[in-house]
Structure 1
């Protein structure tokens, strides 16, 4: 796999010719953020050696390199999920490549279910911590010392300075922002009311099917991570609302203008 990582990084590096300041990952329904980038290069995943392919509606499958607020960014429009049948090695493949490209800062976004009773659909939550309940760990197996240590410190999985800066941007823009703990489950089913209740009972504010493997691998490599979660549905033991992927995309679309403001402000000032 190390050789594949290096081959992919060399391919992308030869095209962009410089080191991006940020890698940005767009979650379900959050593709409009890519329109904010002054694109210099756009690559379809299928044209990148060894790169996985996305199969989910709302994930376009393109890698965009360009400028956002004067900073060089490499943006993934479409991510990979464990529930698609990918191994964790495949899910986190791009993040190994990001490290080999010299990228130090990672901004992620996702669509997720809210279990905090104070949350509403289309709220934006800054992830302050996570709980990993996925059945496979992305660092399981032989450690590649070239990337990082065998045992990884996760005491600050989400960079505190980036969090405070994003909160400052939100305050200036009069955006109501939430903070909370993200719990990762495998999916692809949305949670039952009892499962939503379990997530709340163990200390979660929101639940989703992505993000945590990427953050673990990024921290293994010493990257600074930040994540925005869009609350696209609500659940709990006393709530039995139905939810569909189309409704998730609709809620993400409603939150997009404020997501764009926060991400642009963070990139501009960090």
Structure 2
């Protein structure tokens, strides 16, 4: 998970929808509020425009797991950090179209699963719809003020560590952070076996790069700075939080050794 810095003001497409929809609803009911909104009433083109804004804001990676997502692949959705359910208690339904509560999540399957699925379709093979097993699809209506690690927390990346086998673990910083990280991992399915498999490959590629290149601390610092920002297409490297975790560990070792 990496920090997502929201814009200072909500996107124009969201403002336009809210103004026009509210005006229409209040002609029928002067007391109508967005807590009553049926999410399916938020339609294109504004909905698609908002998802595009969120994807750009996140460097085209999932707000939770960090896998690659895009508009063209249709492998993402607008995610409510605090759930939009009207029946949930406590209810956050009043935040249903609040920009600061809206993120872009993957649909709970990996790029590798997508490619396999598309290949089967090309071959006219009967294949079931991809299962949505992690991130926003897994999370559902879960949210806890005390134990949800949000990508809107500036140091959220520090709540987690990664094993070379691709697993994500709570950081051993203090008991409260550890509990929050562990609960978030479980509720979002971040150690789903398919997710672990693709994360492991990215981590192993990083470790191989470190071992092969024998970077100095200065070189590692530049590499970290590069991975910590979007490329010329506006994209972060997929699973960049895991990549940065290992680069920073190596940098710390080299720095202490004076290399």
Do both proteins adopt the same fold according to a TM-score greater than 0.5, normalized to the shorter chain?
Answer: no
TM-score, structure 2 normalization:
0.26
Bigger helix fraction: 2
- Structure number with greater CO (CA < 8 Å, separation at least 6) is 1
Larger radius of gyration: 2
Give the TM-score normalised by the residue count of structure 1.
0.25
